[in-house]
Amino acid sequence: MSVQIQFTKMQGLGNDFVVLDYEDYKSTGMTPEKLAVKLCDRHFGIGADGLIIVNNHTVNTDIGWIFYNSDGSVAQMCGNGIRCFAKYVYDKGYVNKKEFSVETKAGVIIPKILEDGSVRVNMSKPILEPRKIPVNVQNNLNFKLNLNETVFIANAVSMGNPHCVIFVEKDTKLLAQKYGREIEYNSFFPEKTNVEFIEVLSKNEINLDVWERGCGITLACGTGACASVVAAILNDLCDKCVKVNLPGGSLYIEWQGNRNDTEHDIFMTGRADYSFSGTIEI
Catalytic one among 78, 84, 226, 238? 78
Residue 241 a catalytic site member: no
Catalytic (active site) residue 221: yes
Candidate list 40, 164, 215, 221, residue with the active-site label:
221
| Amino acid, res. 178 | K
User: Which residue(s) pair with 15 in the sheet?
Assistant: 12
Nearest CA to 182 among 148, 133, 137, 142? 148
* Residues labelled catalytic: 78, 221
